[in-house]
């Protein structure tokens, strides 16, 4: 079963020397830099993304995060053609994990943001994108993979904790709405407790 394959890939763990997951697809993004001296990943930020909006599949998220999105392919792409953004990982609808930025580096996923009074969340967070949209239910496979990924991250980086997870909407209220009301936080927390 495909979900089991993706779970095994996540369970293979993270090489903390390189910051890369061992057995997931890698699409290195140039949109990252070093974290500030002394900064460790302490927060996991959950995002939702679809390109074009509300559509799933295709190469467009990879292309966005590698500055190769062709503006002529869709009217929406013209609006975002100059964005320089990334995330550490993406969980696709079927549960496949794609990694763009090593975890010890700073991905450009949060933008202007604040968590518990601390500004610039990119400095101290890991960004996890879920392929989805605010009002469309996320897939069961995505919750299972996200839960497994959180456990692997917390094992590899003791500065992280399953209690320090926030939606993009929580760290950038009024500016961002993802992962949206369709994201079932109770389901995620139940999975995290069940596999603790």
Catalytic residue among 96, 129, 131, 139: 129
Host H or E run for residue 3: helix 2-11
Structure tokens at 168: 């993009």
Q: C-alpha angle 105/158/111, rounded to 5°?
A: 35
Strand partners, 118: 115
Angle between helices 2-11 and 140-156 (to 10 degrees): 10
Distance CA 120, CA 178 (A): 18
Our answer to whether residue 129 is catalytic in this structure is yes
What are the C-alpha distances in Å from 114 to residues 9, 82, 123, 174, 182? Answer: 32, 24, 11, 12, 23
Q: How far is CA 87 from CA 79, 128, 196, in A?
A: 19, 6, 25
- Cα(80)–Cα(97) distance, integer angstroms: 24
Q: Which residues sit opposite 32 in a β-bridge?
A: 107
Active site (catalytic) residues = 129
């Amino acid at each position: 079963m495909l979900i089991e394959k993706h779970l095994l890939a996540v369970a293979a763990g993270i090489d903390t020397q390189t910051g890369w997951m061992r057995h997931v697809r890698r699409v290195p993004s140039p949109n990252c830099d070093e974290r500030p001296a002394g900064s460790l990943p302490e927060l996991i930020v959950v995002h939702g993304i679809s390109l074009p909006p509300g559509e799933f599949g295709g190469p467009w998220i990879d292309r966005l995060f590698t500055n190769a999105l062709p503006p002529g392919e869709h009217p929406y792409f013209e609006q975002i053609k100059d964005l320089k953004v990334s995330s550490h990982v993406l969980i696709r609808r079927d549960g496949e994990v794609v990694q763009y930025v090593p975890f010890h580096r700073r991905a450009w996923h949060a933008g202007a943001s604040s968590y518990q009074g601390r500004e610039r969340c990119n400095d101290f967070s890991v960004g996890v994108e879920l392929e989805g949209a605010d009002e469309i239910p996320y897939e069961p496979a995505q919750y299972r993979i996200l839960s497994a990924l959180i456990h692997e991250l917390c094992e590899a980086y003791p500065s992280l904790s399953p209690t320090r997870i926030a939606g993009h909407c929580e760290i950038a209220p009024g500016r961002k709405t993802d992962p949206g009301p369709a994201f079932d936080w109770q389901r995620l927390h139940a999975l995290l407790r069940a596999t603790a």
